[in-house]
Amino acid sequence: MAALRLWRGLTRLADRGYLRRWERAANAAQNTDIETLKSHRARAQALRRRLDKLLHTADGRLALPLVGSTAMRKPLHADWTYRPQLWRGPIFPAGHASVESKTRLGDEATIFHDCRVSELTVRQVRNSRETDLAPFGLRLDVFRFDGSFLSLVVDLPHAAVDGLQKRHLVRLSAVVETEKPLEIFARLNIKHGPNTEQIVRELPLGQEDVWVEFDLAYTDLNEKRIERMWLDLIFEGPELNQILLRDVTLARRPRAEI
């Protein structure tokens, strides 16, 4: 214990000395020679990247709801539920500006659009309201938009299609905030063999907490050849709008036998 206290004390002293050196460098930056200033800037940028990553992860873990929370509203008799990574845990980097099409957000999500000049920013934000169940949300700020489509594609894990049958109903639940009314469509895609089934639903307008269901009974799904499933969220006319997806969850349940 004594050795541990000594090590902690020495670490605090070293940290204070390190901070004082950076404070002196910052105060003297206006009169520092150019070569030294370039060196300081490069070291400061490298340090800032690491500090930003630490702060993002720490803020995520120390705030509520808890990171990794799987608490969600589940339909009765659901045999699979899922909250994608974007809304469950921190991603790095947390945001992008002038987002290009096919930009990855974490391990599961991708932004697609056909703008010639991107004036779109995306950022993962920390939820902190008492009503929030998801630890994180995703904010899209759209300025001028000269494209014809904007979509967020979320790849779903293999568990989503393990045991999937035509008698299943798949429910998408979302908590959405927008600066002005916006049409949002959800498209569920299921690849089976060489074919892909696609079911489209429009999210109800004027509500924050919404859900839609995809009924697989009306598809030509080949249950023996199902490979994977993914979700597209399609934003119609998103120009000059801020879209905040505070939560997105999916669940499936078998249709009641008649």
Rounded mean pLDDT of 125-153? 91
Does the CA dihedral 231-136-249-177 come out positive or negative? negative
- Would you list the DSSP string of 26-87? HHHGGGS-HHHHHHHHHHHHHHHHHHHHHHHHHHHHHSSSPTT-------TT-SEEE--HHH
Is pLDDT above 80 for 215? yes
The type of residue at 227 is E
* Reported confidence tier of residue 7, pLDDT bands at 50, 70, 90: low
Q: Which domains does the chain have, with CATH numbers?
A: 80-254 (2.60.120.260)
User: What rounded mean pLDDT belongs to the chain?
Assistant: 87
pLDDT of residue 59: 66
Does the CA dihedral 29-30-34-38 come out positive or negative? positive
State if pTM tops 0.85: no
Torsion of CA 132, 111, 55, 17, to 10 degrees: -170
pLDDT of residue 60: 60
Is pLDDT above 60 for 256? yes
